[in-house]
C-alpha cells in the first residue's frame, strides 16, 4: 500500500523485530525516549523496539553470534526510522530557538551545521530499513565499550577515524567497524555507530509505518 509518493511505502511485510532474530540484543531506542538531540519522543516511534529488514536482521544475527563468543553483546540505539521521524528532524531544524539539547549532543556546532555537514539527512538510509546504529557491551564488565564519544554526539570527535581519543577508544571503534564490515555492513565517515547492509533489499525505497510490534503483526 503506497501513499502519494511512489517511493514511500507503508507495508512492513519485509521487516522483523530484531529481538526475535538476535538473542541477547540490548535495545535503548533513543528516539522513543526524550534523551536525544531534540529532547522529546520522535514522531513514528510508538514502541522502544528495533525493526529491520529480514536480510539485515539475518546478517546482524551472524555478527552477534561472533561477538558473543568474544564476550560482547550488541546494543542498539536505532534501526528502522520512519519517514515521519525524519520530517520531525527537519521541522525541528527550522525552529531556531529550540537548542535545549545542544550541550549534550552538539556543543561545538550550531544547529544548522548539523544539516549542512550531513549529520542529519533529509532522506535517511534508516528509512530504507537496513541501517542500524549500535555499540558493543562488554559482558564481563557489564558496561558499554568506551568509544570516545557517546551515540549522537555530533562533530569530528565521532568520526570513526578521529585520533584525538585514547588508543583504547580508537581500538574499540575499529573492533566494531571490523566485525560489521566482515558481516556485510558498510560504515559512514562521520559516525562510528552507523552501518548499512551492503546488499540492502530496498536501496531506493523509503518506508513510513510506525516503529511498533503491533503494526508489524497486522
CATH number of the domain enclosing 98: 3.30.1380.10
Q: Which of 55, 144, 191, 200 does the annotation list as catalytic?
A: 191
**What pLDDT score was predicted for residue 19?**
97
Span of 9-18, 20-29, 90-99, 152-161 with lowest mean pLDDT: 90-99
pTM of the shown model: 0.95
Does a structural domain hold residue 20?
Answer: yes
The predicted-structure confidence for 165-188, as pLDDT tens digits, reads as follows 999 999 999 999 999 999 999 999
pLDDT at 163 over 60: yes
Does a structural domain hold residue 3?
Answer: no
Instruction: Identify whether the C-beta of residue 82 lies closer than 8 Å to the C-beta of residue 207.
Output: yes
Does a structural domain hold residue 2?
Answer: no
Q: Into how many domains does the chain fold?
A: 1
The cell numbers describing 195, all together, are 552501518
Does a structural domain hold residue 133?
Answer: yes
Does a structural domain hold residue 28?
Answer: yes
**Residue 167 belongs to what domain range?**
8-217
Buried b (16+ CB within 10 A) or exposed e, 149-164: bebbbbbeebbbebee
Does a structural domain hold residue 1?
Answer: no
Active site residue 191: yes
Amino acid at each position: 500500500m503506497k501513499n502519494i509518493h511512489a517511493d514511500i511505502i507503508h507495508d512492513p511485510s519485509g521487516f522483523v523485530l530484531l529481538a526475535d532474530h538476535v538473542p541477547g540484543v540490548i535495545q535503548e531506542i533513543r528516539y522513543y525516549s526524550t534523551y536525544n538531540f531534540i529532547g522529546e519522543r520522535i514522531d513514528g516511534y510508538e514502541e522502544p523496539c528495533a525493526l529491520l529488514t529480514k536480510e539485515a536482521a539475518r546478517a546482524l544475527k551472524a555478527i552477534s553470534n561472533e561477538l558473543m563468543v568474544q564476550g560482547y553483546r550488541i546494543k542498539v540505539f536505532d534501526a528502522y526510522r520512519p519517514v515521519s521521524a525524519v520530517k520531525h528532524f527537519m521541522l525541528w531544524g527550522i525552529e531556531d530557538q529550540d537548542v535545549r539539547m545542544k550541550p549534550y549532543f552538539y556543543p561545538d556546532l550550531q544547529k544548522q551545521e548539523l544539516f549542512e555537514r550531513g549529520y542529519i539527512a533529509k532522506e535517511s538510509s534508516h528509512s530504507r530499513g537496513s541501517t542500524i546504529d549500535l555499540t558493543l557491551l562488554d559482558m564481563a564488565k557489564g558496561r558499554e565499550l568506551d568509544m570516545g564519544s557517546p551515540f549522537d554526539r555530533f562533530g569530528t570527535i565521532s568520526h570513526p577515524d578521529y585520533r584525538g581519543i585514547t588508543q583504547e577508544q580508537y581500538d574499540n571503534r575499529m573492533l566494531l567497524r571490523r566485525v560489521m564490515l566482515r558481516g556485510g555492513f558498510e560504515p559512514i565517515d562521520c559516525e562510528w555507530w552507523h552501518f548499512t547492509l551492503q546488499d540492502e533489499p530496498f536501496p531506493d525505497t523509503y518506508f513510513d509505518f510506525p516503529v511498533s510490534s503491533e503494526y508489524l503483526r497486522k
